Structures are given as C-alpha cells and as structure tokens.
Amino acid sequence: MKTENKKIKKKSGKTLQTAREAGYFAKKMLKNALQAQEEGRPIGWSMVTWWQGELIARAIGVELVFPENYGAFCAATGGAEKHLEISDSEGYPTTLCGYSRNSIGYAKLLSDNNFVPYEGAPGGGLAKPKFFLAAGVACDARYKWFQALKRYFTEAPVWTIDLPMPGTKEFFMKGNKELSLKYIVNHLKDYVAFLENLLGTKLDYDRLDENVDQAFKTLALAHEVDVLRRAVPSPMVGADFWSIMIPHLYLPDDPESYEFYEKVYAEVKQRVDNKIGAIPNEKYRLMFAELPPWHSLGFFGELAERFGMAIVIESWNYHAILPIPEEEFEGVTDPLEKVAMLTYYKWTEYNKVAVEYDVDPGFFMAAYFQFAKDYKTDGLLAHPLMSCRPATYTLLHTKNTLENKLKVPGVVIDGDIIDLRVFNEKEAFSKMEAFVETMDHYREERKKAGIAW
Amino acid sequence: MKDVNKKTGLARAKDIYDHRNKRARELKAEGKKIVGYFCCFPPVEIMTALDFLPIRLLGDMDEPITVADGYLPTVMCIFYRSTFDLGMKGRFNFIDGFIGSHACDAAERTSYIWSNYIKTPCNFFLDLPHVDKGEAVNYFKVQLNYLKETLEGLAGKKLGIEPLKEAISLHNKQRKLVRELYYLRKPDPPLINGSEVLQVIISIMMIPVEEGNELLQEVIDEVKTRRDIPDKKIGRLLIWGSLIDNIKFTDLIESSGLNIIVEDTATGTRPFWHDIEETEDPLVGVARHYLQEVKCPRTFAETDTSYREDLENRYSYLKDFAKYWKINGVFGNIIRNCDIHGYEVPAVKDYLESLGLPVLIIEQDYSTASLEPLRTRFQAFSETIG
Amino acid sequence: MFYAGLDIGSTITKVVIKNERKICTTVIKPTGAEHRRLANEIMEEALSKLNLSTANISYIVATGYGRINVPFADKQVTEITCHMRGINWLFPNVKTIIDIGGQDSKGIKVDNGKLVNFVMNDKCAAGTGRFLEVISDVLGVKLEDIGEISLQSTQPTNISSICTVFAEQETLLQLSKGTSVEDILAGIHKANASRIYSMVKKIKVEKDVAITGGGAKNIGLCRALEERIGFPVIVPPEPLITGALGAALIASEETKKIGEKELTEKQLNRRWEAVTFFDEKPTK
C-alpha cells in the first residue's frame, strides 16, 4: 500500500465502542459544575490529586473543575493563544507550564469582566472558584500556579495538598512507609478542617467511606481491564485508553463509572476471548510515555494503518492503581487512612520494580520496565513536552535504561501541551518509519540475550 | 606558627573561590570523607557532626554544557543541568556521599538521574514537604532520621547527641558571622562589594565549618579597617531569586552603576539568616529550621487570606531588608526555566513596587558567554534609579 | 558650543551634532563589522560637514550596542535613556516609546522627562526587525518596500506570531496555496506587531506613544501597531537619530555640571584614535 502521498487522515484512533461513549463523563463533569454554580453551591478549581483531594471534596459537597483539562481544551480549540498573550504581558515567564499560562490569561479576563466568563470563552469558560485545591505531588507548577492565581481571585484561599515523594531506596527504609502514611492522614485531617471551615458544614465520614469504597471498586475493575490488555493481539490501544480513563481518574466514586467499566471490561474481554486485535495487522507493540498529544490522536490511527503499530500500554500516571494487598487494610476503618493509602501507594507502586532494575525514580519510570515485560513490547515512544517538565525529565533516562537493561529501544518525538505546532507530524512519521527497523533489530538482540518474550 | 605567605581574609576567599575543590581534595588525601549536597536544605550540621566535609554542589557558568544532553531535557533549570554536566565530567569525583534533595523539581529529578549515572559510595534522596505547617515538620524530621542513618553507615559510627549539638553551635556561629559581614554593607558606599561577598559565601560552602568561621572573622576584621572601599554608586541593589555563583555576573552588575548590598538567594541570606534553635532533641530544631526558616518560594505559604495579606506574609522580610540596608532597587534574577521563582514574578513585583522600589526582572541563561548583553539592562536600570 | 551624540547600533551608526538651540547635522551609516574604527570616521564626516574640528566639541556622549568602544567619548549612556531623551525633546507629551531595531526591540516609559520603566526583547527574533527581514527574503521582496505593499492587502493572512521559524514555514505554505504577497505581508506585519505589543504591554501602554528605530520607517508595521494599541502613534520624521539626539542632549547637560577648567582638560585629553582589535599603536 502506497503511503508516501497519502494525506494524513484526521481519525480519532479509537477502536472501542465504549471509548467513543466515554465523552459522556467529561460532559457530566462540566454539567455538574454548571449546576453547582446555578444552585449556589461552591466550586473549587483543582489539580488532579490522584483521588485524595477529589474524594474528600465531593463527599463534603464541593464540585471541582480542572484547569489542566481546560488548558488542553483551549489548546485543541484554538482558544489558548489569546490567554497566553495576556499571561506574557502580565509578566509571567513564557517557559512556565502551558496549561498554567492559559489559565492565568483566562483568570485575568474573568477577573476584569466582573467574574463573568467573557463572550466566546472556550467551552463557555470556567466559573469563579470559591477556593483552589493545589497539589504538591508530581511537580512545582501544581501549587505555584494556583498561588499565582490569587492575584486575580484575591479572596479565594489556596489549599495545597501535599504527598511524600521518597526515593525508591528511601521508601523501603524501615518504618518510612508507615510513618509517611501517618503524616498523610494528619495532613488530610487539616484539609478536612479547612473545607469544613470554608463551607460551614461538617464532613459526613460515612458518605466519604462509601465513596472511597466505590472508588476502590472502580479502580480495581479498571485495573482488570489493564490486565486484559496484555493479550496478543492487543484488544485495546492508547487512543481508547486516553478516552476511557476519564471516569476512573476523575470520578471513581461515581457508581456510573463502575457501570461503565463493566461495559468496557465486557467489550475488551470479548475481543481477548476471540483473539480479536484492536488494529487489524498488529506487527509492533509499543509503550507510550507520558502525556499524549491530545490534539493529534489520529496520529496513532495512522501509525496503526501504515506500520501495524499498536500502543498497547501508556501514560503510567493516568492508570488505575495496582491492587493493594488485603493485609494492608487489616484494622483500617478510617476512610482518611484508605484515601492516604490510595494516593501514596499509587505514587510508590513500582518502587519494587525500580529496586529490581536499580533505577530511580519509581514514578514516571519504573512502570515501563514492568510494562515492557507484561505487554511484550517492542519499543517505547517517548514524547517530551516543551512546557511540561515533570512528564519530560525522566524520558531520556527511561529510554536509555530500557535499551540497556531490557533491549527495548525508544524513539523520541517532541511536542507541547499548549503550543501544538511543536509536534511536527511529517517528521514524526519519518522517525516512526525508521524506528520499525530499530525495533526489528532489537527483537533479534532480545532473542540473542535470551530475554525475548 | 603562622605561615607569613599564607593568604588571609579577602585574598584567601578569592583563592578558595578560584580553586573551590582544592581544600576538599587535600582533606580527602588526609583521610576525611566528603559529602556533596544539593541546595540549602540538607542539614550540614549532621554531616559536620559525623566528621564529613559538606560540599555544596554548584554548576559552572564558564563551562559549556556538553554531556547533559543525553540524559536530561534542554528545557529545564540550566543551573542543575550544568551541575549534572560537571558531575558527569568528573568534577566532583572525590565525593564519598551524594545527598540529593527535593528543593525543587530540577533538584529532585536531577538527584535521581545523578544517582543513576554517577556512582558514589553512598547516596540519599532527602524528601522535603512543600508545606511547612502542622505535621510536615514531623514528617521532615523522620526523613532527616533516615538521612542520619545513611550517613552513619558511611561514617561507620553512630551520631551522638553531643557532637550534633556542637556542630549546630558551630554552624550557628557561622550564620552569625555571615550576618555580621552583611551588616558591613549598610554604609553608603558599602565597605565590601558584591563580588567579594560572593567569594566569601562560596568559600565557606567548600571548607570545614571551623575554617569557614576563621575566614569570616578575618574578612570582617579586614573590611572594617580597609581603605579601598567600593565606589559610591547610584544604585543600592537587593538581588532576589535564583542563585548567582560566579563573580563575572556580580562584576558586570557592579560596573553598571549599581552596588550589590544584599542577596535574597540560596548563595546569599537564605542559608544564614536564622539560627537553628537549640532544642533538647536537636533534630527537632534542625527540622524546624530547614523547613520553616530557610526562606525560599519553593515552600508554600498558606493562603487563607486576602491577596494583600498573602503578599505581606510571603515578602515582609524584604521590606525589612530594604529598610535596613536603604535599598533603592531590586534585581529579580531568574535562571531560565526556574518555576519556583518564575511564578512569583508578578506578585513579588506588586509587593516591591508598593514599597516604591523599582524592579528589574531578567531571565538569564546561567552562562558567562551570554552575560554581556545584560549590561545595557543593568545600566539602564541604574539610570531609572538616579 | 557644540555637543555630539554617537549611537552605535548593531546595524546602523548615527551621529548628531547640535548646539544650544538646534540640531546642526546628522550622519547615518551602516555599522558593519568594525564599529570601533567606524566611530572615528563617522565623527570626522559629521565634523567636516560643519567645518568644525574635534576641538570645537565640548562634550561627547556615546550610546548603543557599541558605546563601550568609543575612546573619545566623555560618557556612555544606554540607548534606552538616550531614545527617551531624544523623543522627549521632540515630543514632550510622549509617555511610551516603542523602539524597533534590527536585532532587538524595546519598550520605554517616560514620566516628566525621566526614565521610569523599560522592557527589552533581545532574545527572540519574532519581535524584532529580523522577523521582517527573514520573511521579505523568503518572498523575494525588498525590505524597504514591504510596508507599502502590506497596506494594499484587503484580507491579511493569519500568521502565527510566536516564532520566526514557524512564520517562515507558514509563509512558504501560503505562497504555495496561491495567497497574494500583500496579504501575507499584512499578516506578517500583524504578527510582528502583536509580538512587540505583547512585550510593551508589560510596562503599560499610555498616550502619547512614539515609535523609533528602523521599524518606525516601515509604514505597514506602524499601522499594525496602531491597530493593536487602539490609537494613533507618533513617528518622528527621522526615527533613526533619536538615540544620538538624546545622547547629544545629555552631552549638553553634562557640560553644565562641570567647570570650565575641567571641560577644557577633557577636550585636550580626548583620545581621537580608533580602537583596533589588537590595541596596536593609534592609526591616526
């Protein structure tokens, strides 16, 4: 099939029916926020906190919206540039996280317009927040950004929900895990007190407990789907995942999310049982790190068509947590403790693997070693982002180490979260075409080294 | 007997600054163990108490970054990129221990990548909470305990309470002497210039604390009675932000109509402005000091207040500095890609301008090769003051 | 008494000689590679136009990128202050100055004849004259014509403003699509203006606004800036000399600060030699 002169089709790359239905949850989140606004209920602007912040906020009746998402949305719809210009002229460096610059520009416009979203604001804009839920985990921007926004929302408090981020070796030092969990629980108690004071209402711990249990159920099921994906041929690809992840990442405590995952599981299982691949001619199984080019997911559909490449596993940070052994829950009744375990274990879940391969850190990195084996992968597609450092810092290091220790090669394709022109599709395809040969070569290398899968 | 040819005071500081690993290598040859650390958060008191020589790991603005490309992305803090580059080139191959820290993203991730590619007999990553209230100090104390354990392994002995208390006392003395030195910049013109102070500060981060204290005392005595004081200039500058560790930069600033009077940076007041409280369990005082008193925007200041109150909470110490040293201009130094200081720019400008202070913000590339174009900005800034 | 201001820019060097009341002569020449030697030559040319000798000049101020290498200057002042002083003398109501050079652009804020704030872009080509130079090359149009041509457009193309390299690619793409040169140029001027405006906004754009530097000679760029700013801007009749003029004004001020004796001493001790790369014996 002649591919040289073929125009790049703008397909979504999705192969699952349920992936096409997942958009419902994104809309639901927006709808909930608008409803809260209408009913005079408080809204918080939040970072993704890997569940600890969201579960507690929702249990106490706060609706959260996520400016990170809004950044991706503005970028994809062309509405970001106006915001970026404003951020620049306000004096914020142009090197800052693209999503934060977008949100700063939007915040200024909102503040100047008496807190009414301006006409033509992408997606109708985000409503004025009562408070900000910043996060200390993953990167500095995630709390500095909201602290900076206080300039435009002068009375709204900023709460930073932090998380211990030990090194892999340090994590295993005697007592560190237990003492860290204790700290997190106390830290969460402060967060609860803050919310109770802000809203003038008490947290219903029973309700929180229910939500937390539901969240664990949903995440467990989402993990089962991840396990199903190990099959050859792969029943589901990256473009599917980046769609269906919304309910488990943002709304795991919503019973509708669980129902949705039952459908996802059924659809994926059906393919596995009948050896149906997500893409017709699966030749190469790839991992993808870390944040996808949301605006160009069709790129992956094209990769599938041209080269038989399937993204069989991706984006460690978005995945459901690995199951926590039952023993860990013995004697645990406080829902805050369960929440602490949920987030802390997510961020330390691959530390054992890290120690096994003698690498650091465990997050953003070690997962790909396990993935490589579990998903029998041929290569890593590394996607450095110009204005997102946390998702970029360890990519080269991951690529180097995978190549050395597991003979799994990597290819680097640059992009950005807000400046979409950094991702050059034409160049990307050339690189991927060349990468086919590299992957073939390393298949041989793995065989020779006796570590083939 | 005192060696008459041995340099003292400012001359000695310049010497150490120019050959900053020399003393460490000398001591290593005599059997002392050297521990390198990132930023001003790993407690040097613990290292001193276990008979190590703590070395602050810095970059080099004179050295082009050539090796780091295969390991670290280009769009990141250039200072840590440089530091890693030097590490890979063997500049610190004499250290026995490497202490990385969660001072900021760049320090954190570079710490990990460092331990992967630059092998040291002992390494430890010190996690630092981003918040400093409530239980955070306890969590940090727990991490300090693990640091202590790790270093005890390297030292081959346990850390006793008395040696730790003594080390705290010595390092507190150093802080006091640094403050004394800074007070000599109060007159107009100051008795000591910015490049000279920088040489002293860098020096004391490269030699044992007792030698550092001796050096500081020599410098203070020398400066108090010197005749060749700096020229009077229009600008009395406060530097806020990312660190400066090369006198070519301070020379350029001070040849543009500005006298550098005080630096609110990691190679300025931040490590030295508060003493560690001598608590019964010394680690409590240590934990509190490093988490709550080392003033850096990497630590999140709780904002349950209005914007004005928030600014006051975060920056009121700058008002005190400005008043005491009669500052008439502020240079906001941002090493390119520094998020910690980058996000602060409009807020700190708001605050300083409300005090009537003009502010010059420059994002720079941590390289002496790209310094000259900055001259015009500094000169023009001095022209706005005068 | 005569005063001289010398502005050695990265692309163009200018001299202004004035007396108490008016500008007596100006010289504008490309800087070239050897600006150190040129400073001498251009001074001599200006002096010969007035039949003066070096001894007639009471005070000389040098400014611009090459100001450090003028051994016969009595003082160096940044081009920021000099542009401000020059414009302030010509148009006392101007509060904001936008200087657009070949290699950099600046925003300058004036209040009562004093420099109060400034912002510079010397890192990124997209906000400088270089941007337009690159594109005019791509389009095969003379740089001095692009402004006029751009005004003929009725439908400016949308060109991204963030990066010169991207804009270059877009220009080629538009050409291949058959978009007219004037529409592309109009889009390019808009993009350039947008980048410049973004920078100047940091110091707040207040009336009256003046544009100086080479960019001011580009009528398309001036119009595009006016559109962004929202009100008309002032363009001095000779926008290239405002820096040298400001320098000359400062020169005249400086003489009033020092006594007759010191002034004479300065004039006698002035080194009228060209600085060479190897600091050899003077060439004169």
For chain A, the chains sharing at least 3 beta-carbon pairs closer than 8 angstroms are B, C
**From CA B100, how far away is CA B109, in angstroms rounded?**
9
| Contacts made by residues A206-210, CB under 8 angstroms, sequence distance 24+ | A207/A59, A208/A55, A208/A56, A208/A59, A208/A335, A208/A336, A208/A339, A209/A335, A209/A338
**From CA A139, how far away is CA A317, in angstroms rounded?**
13
CB distance C97 to C89 below 8 Å: no
Q: Is A207 left (phi over 0), alpha (psi -120 to 50) or beta?
A: alpha
Task: Please report which confidence band the pLDDT of residue A57 belongs to, taking 50, 70 and 90 as the band edges.
Answer: very high
B102, B109, B142: residue with CB nearest A393? B109
Q: Which of B343, B350, B362, B366 to mutate to test the interface with A (most CBs of A within 10 A)?
A: B343
Cβ contacts of A183 on chain B, cutoff 8 Å: 135-136, 138-139, 142
CB pair distance less than 8 Å for B340 and A187: no
pLDDT, averaged across chain B: 95
CB distance B180 to B64 below 8 Å: no
pLDDT in tens, A325-383: 999 999 999 999 999 999 999 999 999 999 999 999 999 999 999 999 999 999 999 99
What's the pLDDT score for residue C276?
53
**Token pair 């605050």 is at which residue?**
B351
Range in B169-178, B208-217, B303-312, B328-337 with the lowest mean pLDDT: B303-312
A89, A419, A421: residue with CB nearest C201? A89
CB distance C204 to C177 below 8 Å: no
**Token pair 């390198």 is at which residue?**
B36
Task: Please report which confidence band the pLDDT of residue A4 belongs to, taking 50, 70 and 90 as the band edges.
Answer: very low
Burial bucket for residue A15 (CB in 10 Å: 0-12, 13-18, 19+): buried
C118 touches chain B (CB under 8 A): yes
Helix (H, G, I), strand (E, B) or coil at B233: coil
Closest Cα of chain A to B300: distance in Å? 8
Helix (H, G, I), strand (E, B) or coil at B58: coil
User: In CATH, what is the architecture of C93-235?
Assistant: 2-Layer Sandwich (3.30)
CB distance A329 to A335 below 8 Å: no
Burial bucket for residue C120 (CB in 10 Å: 0-12, 13-18, 19+): buried
Q: Look at residues B330, B213, B243, B301 and name the one whose alpha carbon lies nearest to residue B60.
A: B243
* φ and ψ at residue B378, rounded to 5 degrees: -65, -40
What's the pLDDT score for residue C275?
56
A420 vs C229, residue with greater confidence: C229
Which one is the CATH code of C2-81+242-269: 3.30.70.270, 3.30.2320.80, 3.40.50.720, 3.30.420.40?
3.30.420.40
CB distance C185 to C151 below 8 Å: no
CATH 3.30.420.40 domain range(s) in chain C: 2-81+242-269, 93-235
CB pair distance less than 8 Å for B383 and C77: yes
Nearest CA in chain B to A387: B75
Q: What is the mean pLDDT of residues C245-256?
A: 94
Cβ contacts of C112 on chain B, cutoff 8 Å: none
Size of interface A-C (CB pairs under 8 A): 15
Chain A positions contacting chain C at CB under 8 Å are 85, 88-91, 419, 421
**From CA A361, how far away is CA A354, in angstroms rounded?**
7
CB distance C71 to C236 below 8 Å: no
CB pair distance less than 8 Å for B384 and C117: yes
Share of chain B above pLDDT 90, in %: 94
What's the whole-model pTM score? 0.90
Task: Please report which confidence band the pLDDT of residue B248 belongs to, taking 50, 70 and 90 as the band edges.
Answer: very high
C105 touches chain B (CB under 8 A): no
pLDDT, averaged across chain A: 93
CB distance A107 to A152 below 8 Å: yes
E strand residue ranges, chain C: 2-8, 12-18, 23-30, 57-63, 75-76, 96-100, 105-111, 114-121, 209-212
**From CA C222, how far away is CA B31, in angstroms rounded?**
70
> Using alpha carbons only, how large is chain B's radius of gyration in Å?
20
A204-232 core/surface letters (b: 16 or more CB in 10 A; e: else)? eeeebbebbebbbbbbbbbbbbbebbbbe
pLDDT, averaged across chain C: 87
pLDDT at residue B303 tops 80: no
C267 vs A198, residue with greater confidence: A198
CB distance B51 to B155 below 8 Å: yes
DSSP state letters, A218-265: HHHHHHHHHHHTTSSS-SS-HHHHHHHHHHHHH-TTSHHHHHHHHHHH
Cβ contacts of C77 on chain B, cutoff 8 Å: 379, 383
Maximum CA pair distance of chain B? 62
Residues sharing a CB contact under 8 Å with residue A304, sequence separation 6 or more, in sequence order: A13, A237, A279, A310
Helix (H, G, I), strand (E, B) or coil at A89: helix
pLDDT at residue B1 tops 60: no
What's the pLDDT score for residue B6?
82
What's the pLDDT score for residue C279?
47
Q: What is the mean pLDDT of residues C89-116?
A: 91
CB distance B121 to B59 below 8 Å: no
Retrieve residue B349's tokens. 């400008």
pLDDT at residue C197 tops 70: yes
pLDDT at residue C274 tops 80: no
Task: Please report which confidence band the pLDDT of residue C162 belongs to, taking 50, 70 and 90 as the band edges.
Answer: low
Strand partners, C111: C114
pLDDT at residue A257 tops 80: yes
Helix (H, G, I), strand (E, B) or coil at A417: coil
Range in C10-19, C183-192, C275-284 with the lowest mean pLDDT: C275-284
A286-316 core/surface letters (b: 16 or more CB in 10 A; e: else)? bbbbbbbbbbbbbbbbbbbbebbbbbbbbbb
Report how far apart the first and last C-alpha atoms of chain C are (Å, whole number).
25
Q: What is the mean pLDDT of residues A389-415?
A: 94
pLDDT in tens, A351-366: 999 999 999 999 999 9
Q: Which of A85, A92, A419 to mutate to test the interface with C (most CBs of C within 10 A)?
A: A85
Cβ contacts of C198 on chain A, cutoff 8 Å: 85, 88-89
Q: What is the mean pLDDT of residues B257-263?
A: 97
**From CA C21, how far away is CA B110, in angstroms rounded?**
63
Which domains, ranges and CATH numbers included, belong to chain B?
Answer: 9-162 (3.40.50.11890), 164-385 (3.40.50.11900)
A193 touches chain B (CB under 8 A): no
C40 vs C216, residue with greater confidence: C216
pLDDT at residue C153 tops 60: yes
Share of chain A above pLDDT 70, in %: 98
Retrieve residue C90's tokens. 């010509």
Among residues 117-146 of chain B, which lie with CB inside 8 Å of chain C?
none
Nearest CA in chain B to A93: B342
Q: Cis omega before residue B73 (within 30°)?
A: no
Retrieve residue C236's tokens. 């001095």
pLDDT in tens, B21-78: 999 999 999 999 999 999 999 999 999 999 999 999 999 999 999 999 889 999 999 9
Closest Cα of chain C to B208: distance in Å? 42
Helices (H), ranges, chain B: 9-18, 22-29, 44-49, 78-88, 105-117, 136-155, 161-183, 194-204, 209-224, 247-254, 282-288, 307-325, 339-342, 345-354, 374-385
Task: Please report which confidence band the pLDDT of residue A109 belongs to, taking 50, 70 and 90 as the band edges.
Answer: very high
For residue C29, the number of C-alpha atoms closer than 13 Å in the C-beta half-sphere is 19
CB distance C255 to C1 below 8 Å: yes
Cβ contacts of B130 on chain A, cutoff 8 Å: 136, 140, 143, 160, 162
C194 touches chain A (CB under 8 A): yes
Task: Please report which confidence band the pLDDT of residue A77 belongs to, taking 50, 70 and 90 as the band edges.
Answer: confident
Closest Cα of chain C to A422: distance in Å? 9
Strand partners, A310: A285
Task: Please report which confidence band the pLDDT of residue A324 belongs to, taking 50, 70 and 90 as the band edges.
Answer: very high
Task: Please report which confidence band the pLDDT of residue A224 belongs to, taking 50, 70 and 90 as the band edges.
Answer: very high
What's the pLDDT score for residue C35?
67
What's the pLDDT score for residue B180?
98
Among residues 294-353 of chain B, which lie with CB inside 8 Å of chain C?
none
C65, C81, C122: residue with CB nearest B380? C81
pLDDT at residue A181 tops 70: yes
What's the pLDDT score for residue B150?
98
For chain B, the chains sharing at least 3 beta-carbon pairs closer than 8 angstroms are A, C
pLDDT at residue A409 tops 70: yes
Residues sharing a CB contact under 8 Å with residue A429, sequence separation 6 or more, in sequence order: A302, A306
Nearest CA in chain B to C111: B384
What's the pLDDT score for residue B202?
98
Q: Look at residues C173, C181, C212 and name the one whose alpha carbon lies nearest to residue C79.
A: C212
CB distance C207 to C196 below 8 Å: no
pLDDT at residue A226 tops 50: yes
What's the pLDDT score for residue B386?
72
Q: Look at residues C16, A76, B74 and name the one whose alpha carbon lies nearest to residue C3.
A: C16
Closest Cα of chain B to C122: distance in Å? 8
What's the pLDDT score for residue A10?
53
